[in-house]
Amino acid sequence: MSDLILVLAVALASGVEMVEALTLVMAGGVTRGFRSTLIGAGAALVILALAVGLLGVGLVRYLPLTAMRVVIGTLLLVYGLAWLRKAVLRASGHKAPHDEDAIYAATVASLSGEGSVRAGIDPAGFLVGFKAVLLEGAEVVVIAIALGAPSHRLGLAALGAGTAVPVVGVAGALMHRQLSRVPENAMKMTVGLLLVTFGSFWAGEGVGVRWPGADLFVLALLAAYAAAAAVLVRGMAAAVPGRCAPRREARTDATCARQHRANTRHQRPAGHPGRRLCDPAADHAA
């Protein structure tokens, strides 16, 4: 089960980063030509694959397992908390969602000012594809190594990352400029939870903690962190000015109107103000 979670974590992390990279690659391809942009992206993928192999094998071979689990567990906690923080802020309304359409438009506008497209390999197109994949993929490399090395599962981690690349590529080709429909924040939330879970598990093992149920305790940690994140999102969402609580958001004008009609059927004492039981405007203001 933990192997499946590991592959899922790397695949989702790779998927999130590749969606962001694909936005730039699509903008570069449309503006400067897909040939040059894809060559740049391919060159970056080769470098990232070599980095996973060399760095991962080096860690497994030369770093003691106990020290590796402490170091990598701490690293995963730092990464995971950073991903969770952003996801919770966006889910609760405290931070604007990641707008891939706006990034696409800005990149197209920037590349359009680079002059005419050159024959052969266009430098601007190559560079935007190379930088997009290399910079976004670097974090995936760190996550893949951190998740795969302590359990000697580098192959599975690489499989997770490698699976996400063609999936996101095909989805991007089909959706073209509609990448904003990808549930990126939900994916980031999931990745953050998985990174924090594995980080806690391995850091604990590194300092001598014996988890009940061995590897199966990963599921208990994941459930605990997911519950904590849900509580945070709900509590922080209620604190956003002008945002209704979930119970009140579920009320519709039609529901309020029915309650009002039912209320007016009853006799009221003289001088009763006849207050509505439900007022959408008041609910929203509250």
Q: What is the pLDDT of residue 228?
A: 93
Mean pLDDT across the stretch 250-269?
A: 48
* Contact call for residues 40 and 186 (beta carbons, < 8 A): no
Give the CA angle between residues 75, 76, 79 to the nearest 5°.
90
Quote the percentage of the chain above a pLDDT of 90. Answer: 9
User: What are the tens digits of pLDDT across the range 32-89?
Assistant: 888 899 999 999 989 988 887 777 777 767 777 777 788 888 888 888 898 899 889 9
Mean pLDDT across the stretch 226-242?
A: 85
> Is 60 exceeded by the pLDDT of residue 92?
yes
Residue 284 confidence class, pLDDT cut points 50, 70, 90 = very low
Tokens describing residue 181: 């429909």
Cα separation, 199 vs 67, whole angstroms: 13
| Residues in CB range of 181: below 8 A, 6 or more apart | 175
Of 107, 109, 151, 105, the closest CA to residue 129 belongs to 107
Q: What is the pLDDT of residue 241?
A: 66
Mean pLDDT across the stretch 252-268?
A: 48
User: What are the tens digits of pLDDT across the range 132-190?
Assistant: 889 888 888 888 887 777 777 777 787 887 777 777 777 666 665 555 566 778 888 88
Q: What is the pLDDT of residue 60?
A: 66
Q: What is the pLDDT of residue 248?
A: 42
Q: What is the pLDDT of residue 109?
A: 85
Mean residue pLDDT of the chain comes to: 76
Residue 251 confidence class, pLDDT cut points 50, 70, 90 = very low
> Is 60 exceeded by the pLDDT of residue 286?
no
> Is 80 exceeded by the pLDDT of residue 201?
yes
| Helices vs. strands in the chain: H and E counts, helices first | 11, 0
* Contact call for residues 217 and 109 (beta carbons, < 8 A): no
* Contact call for residues 110 and 24 (beta carbons, < 8 A): no
Direct distance between the N- and C-terminal alpha carbons of the chain, in angstroms, rounded to an integer: 45
Quote the percentage of the chain above a pLDDT of 70. Answer: 77
* Contact call for residues 67 and 202 (beta carbons, < 8 A): no
* Contact call for residues 113 and 121 (beta carbons, < 8 A): no
- DSSP assignment of 68-91: HHHHHHHHHHHHHHHHHHHHHHHH
Q: What is the pLDDT of residue 243?
A: 53
SS3 content of the chain, % helix, strand, coil (to 5): 75, 0, 25
Query: What torsion do the CA atoms of 40, 44, 50, 55 make, to the nearest 10 degrees?
Result: 160
Residue 227 confidence class, pLDDT cut points 50, 70, 90 = very high
Residue 275 confidence class, pLDDT cut points 50, 70, 90 = very low
Query: What torsion do the CA atoms of 198, 199, 204, 206 make, to the nearest 10 degrees?
Result: 100
> Is 90 exceeded by the pLDDT of residue 226?
yes
Higher pLDDT: 257 or 230? It is 230
Mean pLDDT across the stretch 209-213?
A: 86
pTM for the predicted model, two decimal places: 0.64
Query: What torsion do the CA atoms of 18, 21, 27, 28 make, to the nearest 10 degrees?
Result: -120
| Residues in CB range of 246: below 8 A, 6 or more apart | 234, 237
Taken as a whole, the chain contains a residue count of 286
